Amino acid sequence: MTTSLLWIPVTLAAAAAQTGRNATQRRLTETIGTVGATQVRFLYGFPFALLALAVMNLVTGEVVPGPNATFLAYALTGAVTQILATALMLAAMRERAFSVVTAYTKTEPVQVALFGLVLLGDHLTLAMALAIAVATSGVLLMSVKPGTSLTSSGAKPVVFGLASGAFFALAAIGFRGAILSLDQGSPLIRASTTLVWGLGLQTVILMIWLGLLDRKALVASFKAWRPSLGAGFLGALASQFWFIGFALTTAANVRTLALVEVLMAQAVSHRFLAQATTRRELAGMLLILAGVGLLLLAQR
């Protein structure tokens, strides 16, 4: 496999780790609240990111690149928008409209492509645009149950879901911009450096926020350190792969291929929750696979 295609297995690994992280983090929402569960992802992921960067520095001998003004602006944008996106996603899930939330948050690839084109000048071909549209339509089809619509759960999950997708898109663009703005280093070391800065900023922001406005949730997140540690590790692992993907190709490519996470979540539900797959869901899966296939063909 050429270096230019390494983003494909990297993205698949990120999607798998994130599937596990989401399940763990969703359970924490029920015990320590939305903001507390959001903070767990960053607070407990930060040490793992630091350890990964230290190991890479030791093994490769590469110098960790220092930040510049452009890097800090992009990293801060990515950090803040990812916090908002995660909080909105978890809040929408608490409305008990998981399928609707999934549908709207997974409009992210469309928004990533538009933001990437405008803010970073990332190239978007007709084939890539078609792939994004087909894969996203598959997610929407999977999320609409017979006799219902995407708006049947009320306005709040719709608004939260769309806003979450938009902020996730801006976070992806912010972190890719930060990675590209570093002056030196391989894609791996630049991605890992950006991850450490991103998680560090997010940890500080949320610690201050919770310390001032919700100390109960802050204390609860420390008490729930055992499950939080697992969520933090999986979150850091997923983010490590996401950032490497962003260093190797456009955010639109990474986030479109990442829609296979929907298929992974469906497989988990089928295997462990004994949920049968309907014809509608199967048709949606085929559309996702078709969109991903088109995307991979467009890379040639």
Predicted confidence at residue 274, as pLDDT, reads 52
| pLDDT of 300 | 62
Is the distance from CB of 237 to CB of 17 less than 8 angstroms?
A: yes
Tokens of 65: 């690149």
Residue 10 above 90 pLDDT? yes
Which domain covers residue 82, as residue numbers? 3-297
Average pLDDT over residues 130-143: 85
Q: What is the C-alpha to C-alpha distance for residues 115 and 87, in angstroms, rounded to an integer?
A: 21
- Assign 239 a pLDDT band (cuts: 50, 70, 90): very high
What pLDDT score was predicted for residue 54? 94
Most confident of the following: 197-211, 220-234, 249-263: 197-211
Report the pLDDT value the prediction gives residue 282, as an integer from 0 to 100: 83
Instruction: Determine the pLDDT at residue 261.
Output: 79
User: What per-residue confidence (pLDDT) applies to 99?
Assistant: 59
Question: Average pLDDT of 111-128?
Answer: 88
Q: How many CB atoms lie within 10 A of CB 98?
A: 16
Q: What local confidence, expressed as pLDDT, does residue 177 receive? A: 96
What integer is the mean pLDDT of 233-250? 92
1 or 89, which is more confident = 89
pLDDT of residue 232 exceeding 70? yes
Tokens of 277: 């797959």
* Tally of structural domains, the chain: 1
Average of pLDDT values for 244-249?
93
User: Which tens digit of pLDDT belongs to each residue from 174-185?
Assistant: 999 999 999 889
- For range 149-157, the mean pLDDT: 63
Categorise residue 190: left if φ over 0, alpha if ψ from -120 to 50, beta otherwise: alpha
In this structure, the chain runs to a length of: 300
What pLDDT digit, counting tens, does each position of 193-211 carry?
Answer: 999 999 999 999 989 988 8
For residue 120, give the DSSP letter. Answer: I
